[in-house]
Amino acid sequence: MPVNYIPRRFTVIRDKDLCINCGCCVRQCSNECHLFADDGKTVISRSDECVACHRCVDLCPTHALRIEKYVCDYRENANWTPQYQQEICRQAETGGVLLSGMGTPKPYPVYWDKILLNASQVTNPSIDPLREPMEIRTILGRKPEKLTVEKKGKSTVKMPPQVILETPVMFSAMSFGSISLNAQKSLAMAAKELGTLFNVGEGGLHPDLAPYTDRAVVQVASGRFGVHSDYLNNSRFVEIKIGQGAKPGIGGHLPGEKVSVEVSNARMIPEGSDAISPAPHHDIYSIEDLRQLIWAVKQATGNTKPVSVKIAAVHNVAAIVSGCARAGADIVAIDGFRGGTGAAPVRIRDNVGIPVELALASADQRLRDEGIRSTVSLVAAGSFRCSADIVKAIALGADACYCASAPLIAMGCHMCQTCNTGKCNWGIATQRPELTKRLNPEIMYKRVVNLITAWNHEIKEIMGGMGINSVDSLRGNRLMLRGIGLSEKELEILGIKHAGE
């Protein structure tokens, strides 16, 4: 066996006093970290392949297991950190691009943590959401510039197709292929119960999701996988995916070994063939081409569905968002660079793009400067960890938020960042049948429903504290936000004042 230049990352600690040798961990670890000793009875562990997914820890009936960071010191060097050295060794061994899953783990500023919320005192009563109506219903879609009426009580305006959400939280795009059908089904069931939407990504629409198509967002991405007339029409709205926050500017690659019969049917590609999404849409080389594609999608759906355009947050995001809106997008989704992914080149994920907070703030302001903000919907994506993040995003100007990592965590994901290996022990980011069956949609959809229900309660509580009883009055209400420890420039871009001001 060749010498491995990289020390392992974790150590599995087994408390022998507690271990009952039931072997649960042995059977649950797809990385084969646990095994029976020669006696066939005693369970032992080797930690080389441990990714700290905690499957064994959480299932151990006696809590005999613990994962510890494996500490192996290098000579101190603030520049050549162990991580860079290890990555070099990995590349020296494989000659390949470094891949990883989930959003960037780098300590870039999280602006949500540097923004504080307001509450009412004296001059304005706070509202108790348990006693008073508290509205979080959100309507997405293109709005006419003005209402026309015959008289009070009778509208004569012709409304473009609208989407009513009972919460400003939607589930972001995750394709069948990148996640398991059971995971997708759980999200679909949760979306139906919550009155929100899930997004099938660019993986096509599996027939099992038929009961949930009125809650589905279907994507048209650069690979055009699974796109046909029925696909477009079996949806609540259609999203043209230009880019993804975790990997702006590059396409996607689902290796052939993951293209099972089911995946191949949904994507309409041969079984076992690599599913490669090109970096650009090869029919969109400029904004006017986007307009044509939007028009084509609207034609294909008989103008019955809003069309969304999802872009990655990049440097010139405000102008791009404005361009998308003018090209006919009814909804523009901005995906910040902390957003998750099933697999992305590490260098891209960790270095390309900008945070969603800044992108959202500048795009919202740009649309307002141009006087078109009220006619188009703006959706923010890219790592919302809790209800307060959602409230802050809406106050910065978002109509709704796309969340993916949070519902995945509710389903068992532990952010081990090895989605790309296809060995997800929680049955989420894998197509291996012995692993996907670990995710029972009947259990998991309820956990997702619980999570979003809890967030809804919290959003209402926060709004009530501000003296606001409709999310409409929170949207773009930046006076409810204050920065803490931010520079003048950051405050200017976010359009907020500093705490104490």
Partner 1 sequence: MKRIYAIEELCLNCRLCEVYCKTAHSLSKDVIKANKSEDPAPASRVTVYGDNFLSAALNCRHCDDPKCVKACITGAMTKDKKTGIVYVDENKCIGCLTCVAVCPYGCIKAGKTAVKCDLCRNEDGPACVKNCPNHALVYTEEGGENR
Partner 2 sequence: MLKEGQIRIPSGCAIAAIIDRKGGMINGSEIIKSIALMHDRSNGLGGGFAAYGIYPEHKDEYAFHIFYENSQAHTACEEFLFKHFNIDAAERIPTKTVDSISNGPDIWRYFGRVNRVRMKNSRLDESEYVVQCVTKINSAYEGAYIFSSGKNMGCFKAVGYPEDVGEFYMLDKYDAYLWTAHGRFPTNTPGWWGGAHPFNILDWSIVHNGEISSYDTNRRYIEQFGYKCTMQTDTEVITYLFDHLIRHHGLPVNVAADVLTAPEWDEIDRMDPERKEYFTNLRAIYSGALVNGPFSVILGSNKGLLAINDRLKLRSLTAALKGDRAYFASEESAIRIICPEPDKVWSVSGAEPVFIPLEIKEREDA
Contact residues toward partner 2 (CB under 8 A) are 120, 122-125, 127, 132-133, 135, 137, 139, 141, 143-149, 151-155, 157, 159, 162, 368-369, 371-374, 466-470, 472-480
Give which of partner 2, partner 1, none residue 62 binds (C-beta under 5 to 8 Å, depending on kind).
partner 1
The DSSP 8-state label assigned to residue 420 in this structure reads G
Interface of this chain with partner 1, residues 41 to 60, rule: CB under 8 A = 59
Give which of partner 1, partner 2, none residue 122 binds (C-beta under 5 to 8 Å, depending on kind).
partner 2
Give which of partner 1, partner 2, none residue 61 binds (C-beta under 5 to 8 Å, depending on kind).
partner 1
Least spacing, CB of residue 22 vs partner 2, in Å: 52
Burial of 126 (C-beta count, 10 Å sphere; 0-12/13-18/19+)? middle
Residue 271 binds partner 1 (CB under 8 A) = no
Site mask for partner 1 (CB under 8 A), range 62-81, x = bound: x-------------------
CB 384 within 8 A of CB 335: no
Task: For residues 401 and 399, give the distance between their C-alpha atoms in angstroms, rounded to a whole number.
Answer: 7
Give which of partner 1, partner 2, none residue 193 binds (C-beta under 5 to 8 Å, depending on kind).
none
Give which of partner 2, partner 1, none residue 442 binds (C-beta under 5 to 8 Å, depending on kind).
partner 1
From residue 182, give the alpha-carbon distance in Å to each of 206, 352, 383: 11, 32, 22
Q: Report CA dihedral (224, 225, 231, 237) to the nearest 10 degrees.
A: -60
Q: Which is nearer to partner 1, 253 or 432 (CB)?
A: 432
Phi, psi values for residue 489, rounded to 5°: -65, -45
**The one among 4, 8, 18, 211 contacting partner 1 by CB under 8 A:** 18
First to last CA, the chain: 64
Nearest CA to 461 out of 197, 124, 132, 116 is that of 132
Residues contacting residue 275 through CB under 8 Å, at least 6 positions apart: 177, 223, 225, 252, 253, 254, 256, 259, 263, 267, 269
Q: Which is nearer to partner 1, 93 or 434 (CB)?
A: 434
Interface of this chain with partner 1, residues 409 to 468, rule: CB under 8 A = 433-434, 437-438, 440, 442-443
Least spacing, CB of residue 54 vs partner 1, in Å: 13
Q: Give the 3-state secondary structure of residue 380.
A: strand
Give which of partner 2, partner 1, none residue 466 binds (C-beta under 5 to 8 Å, depending on kind).
partner 2
Retrieve residue 130's tokens.
């348990």
Burial of 369 (C-beta count, 10 Å sphere; 0-12/13-18/19+)? exposed
User: Where is 482: in which H helix or E strand?
Assistant: strand 481-483
Give which of partner 2, partner 1, none residue 125 binds (C-beta under 5 to 8 Å, depending on kind).
partner 2
Task: For residues 313 and 257, give the distance between their C-alpha atoms in angstroms, rounded to a whole number.
Answer: 31
Give which of partner 1, partner 2, none residue 123 binds (C-beta under 5 to 8 Å, depending on kind).
partner 2
**The one among 61, 96, 207, 371 contacting partner 1 by CB under 8 A:** 61
Q: Which is nearer to partner 2, 328 or 476 (CB)?
A: 476
Nearest CA to 283 out of 224, 352, 215 is that of 224
Residue 24 binds partner 1 (CB under 8 A) = yes
Give which of partner 2, partner 1, none residue 149 binds (C-beta under 5 to 8 Å, depending on kind).
partner 2
Residue 20 binds partner 1 (CB under 8 A) = yes
Retrieve residue 38's tokens.
């020669």
Q: Which is nearer to partner 1, 22 or 409 (CB)?
A: 22
Least spacing, CB of residue 467 vs partner 2, in Å: 4
Q: Which is nearer to partner 2, 125 or 270 (CB)?
A: 125
Phi, psi values for residue 269, rounded to 5°: -135, 160
CB 433 within 8 A of CB 96: no
Q: Which residues lie near partner 1 (CB under 8 A)?
A: 18, 20, 22-24, 27-28, 59, 61-62, 433-434, 437-438, 440, 442-443
